[in-house]
């Protein structure tokens, strides 16, 4: 009887550990899936969520295709006078997606694949906690780290805050420009980077519409 109780106790602990591990890794899995999704075609991405019905898939495609054309066409000149170098990893799919997105809004971008991104992030003063997968540096020296929406890049460049060096979107929030994944969206903040190494909130993005 004592042995049987011990087995049940160990089984309960193992099950609790498995549940906790799944909860902790779920957010990271969603981010990685979104970034890898950027490298696949529409037909390749169909098996990602087999539970979705054909009707739901059609609805998501209709909703995503309708608003995509209008905002890009109406705001394609946001960054038309801006030139920048984008430092990224050669195998980063979401970096490539963001470059295409920024170019669609007028940015003249030169993508440069580098082996050690941390060297460039240190060179341009991006704090460790503000780092993402790529670093964009304009010809006049302003830094835009990660998946920053073109809307806020243009707003910042039109009137750079005193003692600031640029903007950052830390990590890789799902639903941010270049990180689109099905109909998922994670609220995030665009952070202002200052010359003294401090940061502050520049904009809080609570919905996809705020990025347009």
Under 8 Å between Cβ of 120 and 114: yes
Q: Return the minimum-mean-pLDDT range out of 55-69, 83-97, 114-128, 136-150.
A: 55-69
- The residue to which tokens 């903007």 are assigned: 167
Percentage of the residues of the chain whose pLDDT score is greater than 70: 65
**Residues 24-35: pLDDT tens digits?**
345 555 566 667
pLDDT (mean) for 182-203? 97
Return the bridge partners of 167, or none.
144, 192
- Judge whether residue 79 has pLDDT over 80: yes
Number of Cβ atoms within 10 Å of the Cβ of 190: 26
| 202, two tokens | 């520049």
Rounded CA-CA distance 60/46 in Å is 12
Rounded CA-CA distance 153/17 in Å is 43
Domain coordinates of the chain in residue numbers?
Answer: 1-36, 53-211
Give the pLDDT of residue 65.
37
Q: What angle do CA 128, 102, 39 make, to 5 degrees?
A: 80
DSSP state of 172: -
Give the pLDDT band (50/70/90) at residue 15.
Answer: very low
Number of Cβ atoms within 10 Å of the Cβ of 33: 16
pTM: 0.71
């Amino acid at each position: 009887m004592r042995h049987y109780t011990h087995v049940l106790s160990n089984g309960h602990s193992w099950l609790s550990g498995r549940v906790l591990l799944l909860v902790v890794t779920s957010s990271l899995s969603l981010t990685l899936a979104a970034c890898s999704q950027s490298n696949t075609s529409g037909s390749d991405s169909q098996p990602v969520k087999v539970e979705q019905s054909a009707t739901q898939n059609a609805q998501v495609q209709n909703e995503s295709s309708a608003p995509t054309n209008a905002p890009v066409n109406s705001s394609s000149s946001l960054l038309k006078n801006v030139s920048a170098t984008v430092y990224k990893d050669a195998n980063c799919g979401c970096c490539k997606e963001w470059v295409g997105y920024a170019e669609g809004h007028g940015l003249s971008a030169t993508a440069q694949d580098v082996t050690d991104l941390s060297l460039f992030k240190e060179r341009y003063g991006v704090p460790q906690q503000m780092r993402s997968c790529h670093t964009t540096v304009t010809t006049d020296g302003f830094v835009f780290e990660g998946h920053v929406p073109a809307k806020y890049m243009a707003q910042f460049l039109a009137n750079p805050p005193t003692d600031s060096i640029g903007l950052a979107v830390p990590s890789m929030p799902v639903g941010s420009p270049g990180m689109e994944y099905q109909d998922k969206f994670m609220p995030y903040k665009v952070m202002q980077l200052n010359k003294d190494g401090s940061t502050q909130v520049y904009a809080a993005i609570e919905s996809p519409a705020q990025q347009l």
